[in-house]
Amino acid sequence: MHSPGGKVSGYVALMIVQIIFLVLFWLFVRYEKELLPPAIDAEDAGSAKEHVSKYPQFQDIQVMIFIGFGFLMTFLRKYGYSATGFTLFMAALVVQWSVLMKGFLHMEDGKISLSLENIIDADIAAAVPLISMGALLGRTTPIQLLCMSIFEVALFAANEYLALNVFSICDCGGSITVHAFGAYFGLAVALMLRPSSDQNEAGKLEGASYTSDIFAMIGTTFLWVYWPSFNSVLAEGAGGERAILNTFLSLAAATVTTFVVSALVSHENKLDMVHVQNSTLAGGVAVGTVCNLLLGVHGAVLIGIIAGTVSVLGYRYLTPWMTANLRLHDTCGVHNLHGMPALISAIASAIYASMVTVGDYRSELQDIFPAMVGTNGTETKIMGGLARNASSQAGYQLLGIAVTLLIAIGGGILTGVVLKYTSFRNLKKDEHHQDEHYWEVPAVENKEE
């Protein structure tokens, strides 16, 4: 409407994308064999049941993606339609794209087999651009967001493949591949899209109202409650239950710490809702990569305490500094909720990996650290000696986070350049953080309320 890449053409392009998805599904995606009706004289239908046992955890993750992320971002006083609506839009697009992208990396006979596992993976992938969206919230058009998410998820799938399948790092809850990637990609895009000049202070709409802050608490509490499902869904056996317990306790410790540190560092020692909405969750991110390891309960609690502290201090001191000195507005503070806690998780993973022994991990070693057993790992091999020793594994963990940062930041800068300098329409400063540029907003609002 306004310009090439403006409103109508962008939406039309997205419809074409949806239709391309339809064609790709038709050409390449089939139900997994176990989902087809069994033969009349077949005896067991065991495999289908195996998947479905993860269905409740899948639903918890669905709530995190659609309600958790969506409502967490409603804290802006005039951006609630966009927060909940664009979350829904982006997630709906990304889950389809992710089924295809990740499927292409694991095709059999030229076809992608679809089962519940694929859409669990797709939901996890949807978290990535939603994290990035938090860094940009209110300063992009929906078309920019959606295009970013398509680039980003493709890069995410490649980086995840590299980290998990090539470097064989452990990353059970995805802090490295999901949280660090999403956060630094988003920050890099935000850096590229920053306005050329800027007041030091945030725009008047870049803040909460009393009601919007309570809406955001819906997001926070659902993310808090279901975080153990996110971290444990890909873990197996006893490791899955350890992942649940470690995540729960890390969150609890991070929450207590967040309240205390928030009161200590805030103006007049009053609690700050931004900290409560976000830093309480940092414990879930920081324990993510290591949540299925033998941390000991105290390990999980300690990680939570560190994460809560770092996250609150980040909101209090680092974010304003970045805004003032780098003109980098990280609207939701994803650096403090996802970025730094993910770095903590990566470092913790190197420390714990360096202490791994066959005596401790026994039959789970194959599953958690497959490279230590060897690609053709057999039980004999484990007992004989490790294919990759503990210090090497620790090194690979650090390599994993380093390469992730590199790809995320590089990809983010590139994406930012594309979004800024090609035909996409950019928002002007005075259009930021306002629903009304993209939504019909009730007119009665201004008069009566």
- Residues 64 to 83 in contact with a copy of itself, rule: CB under 8 A: 66-67, 70-71, 74, 77-78, 80-81
Name beta bridge partners: 76: 208
Amino acid letter at 387?
A
Q: Give min distance, CB of 206 to a copy of itself, in A.
A: 11
Does 291 interact with a copy of itself (rule: CB under 8 A)? Answer: no
Number of chain positions touching a copy of itself (CB under 8 A)? 133
Phi, psi of 151 (to 5 degrees): -60, -50
Q: Give min distance, CB of 362 to a copy of itself, in A.
A: 4
- By beta-carbon proximity to a copy of itself, the closer residue of 68 and 412 is 68
Piece in contact with a copy of itself (CB under 8 A), picked from 259-267, 321-329, 403-411, 425-433: 259-267
State the Cα–Cα distance between residues 394 and 356, nearest whole angstrom.
9
Which of 3, 165, 199, 209 binds a copy of itself (CB under 8 A)? It is: 209
Q: With left for phi above 0 and alpha for psi between -120 and 50, is residue 98 left, alpha or beta?
A: alpha
Which of 192, 202, 256, 403 binds a copy of itself (CB under 8 A)? It is: 256
Q: Give min distance, CB of 249 to a copy of itself, in A.
A: 7
Q: Give min distance, CB of 291 to a copy of itself, in A.
A: 13
CB atoms within 10 A of CB 63: 14
Which of 3, 4, 59, 317 binds a copy of itself (CB under 8 A)? It is: 59
Which of 3, 4, 20, 56 binds a copy of itself (CB under 8 A)? It is: 56
State the Cα–Cα distance between residues 91 and 225, nearest whole angstrom.
20
Which of 131, 180, 189, 244 binds a copy of itself (CB under 8 A)? It is: 244
- DSSP tag of 165: I
Burial class of residue 367 (count of CB atoms within 10 Å of its CB; 0-12, 13-18, 19+): middle
Piece in contact with a copy of itself (CB under 8 A), picked from 12-20, 187-195, 343-351, 400-408: 12-20
Q: Is 78 helix (H, G, I), strand (E, B) or coil?
A: coil
- How far from chain centre, in Å, is Cα 322? 22
Piece in contact with a copy of itself (CB under 8 A), picked from 149-157, 175-183, 195-203, 264-272: 264-272
- By beta-carbon proximity to a copy of itself, the closer residue of 184 and 215 is 215
Does 41 interact with a copy of itself (rule: CB under 8 A)? Answer: yes
Piece in contact with a copy of itself (CB under 8 A), picked from 242-250, 336-344, 347-355, 399-407: 242-250
CB 25 within 8 A of CB 31: no
Angle at 253 between CA 400 and CA 74, to 5 degrees: 80
Q: Please, where are the H alpha helices in 79-115? A: 80-104
Task: Please list, residue by residue across 412-446, b when 16 or more beta carbons sit within 10 angstroms of its beta carbon and e when fewer do.
Answer: beebbebbeeeebbbbeeeebbbbeebeeeeeeee
Does 213 interact with a copy of itself (rule: CB under 8 A)? Answer: yes
Phi, psi of 43 (to 5 degrees): -100, -45
Q: Interaction with a copy of itself in 108-137: which residues (CB under 8 A)?
A: 114-116, 119
CB 368 within 8 A of CB 292: yes
Dig out the tokens for 435 from the structure: 């629903």
Which of 178, 233, 273, 334 binds a copy of itself (CB under 8 A)? It is: 273
Any idea how long the chain is? 449
Does 92 interact with a copy of itself (rule: CB under 8 A)? Answer: yes
Dig out the tokens for 302 from the structure: 């300690």
Task: List the end-to-end C-alpha distance of the chain, in Å, as a whole number.
Answer: 32
Piece in contact with a copy of itself (CB under 8 A), picked from 32-40, 180-188, 324-332, 333-341: 32-40
Does 431 interact with a copy of itself (rule: CB under 8 A)? Answer: no
Does 88 interact with a copy of itself (rule: CB under 8 A)? Answer: yes
Which of 249, 350, 371, 427 binds a copy of itself (CB under 8 A)? It is: 249
Piece in contact with a copy of itself (CB under 8 A), picked from 85-93, 190-198, 402-410, 412-420: 85-93
State the Cα–Cα distance between residues 385 and 358, nearest whole angstrom.
9
Does 430 interact with a copy of itself (rule: CB under 8 A)? Answer: no
Q: Interaction with a copy of itself in 310-369: which residues (CB under 8 A)?
A: 360-365
Which of 154, 260, 398, 399 binds a copy of itself (CB under 8 A)? It is: 260
Which of 36, 166, 324, 417 binds a copy of itself (CB under 8 A)? It is: 36
Does 150 interact with a copy of itself (rule: CB under 8 A)? Answer: no
Does 414 interact with a copy of itself (rule: CB under 8 A)? Answer: no
Q: Give min distance, CB of 159 to a copy of itself, in A.
A: 23
Residue labelled with tokens 């651009």: 129
DSSP states of 209-247: -HHHHHHHHHHHHHHHHHHHHHHHTT--HHHHHHHHHHH
- 112-114 and 29-31 beta bridge pairing: parallel
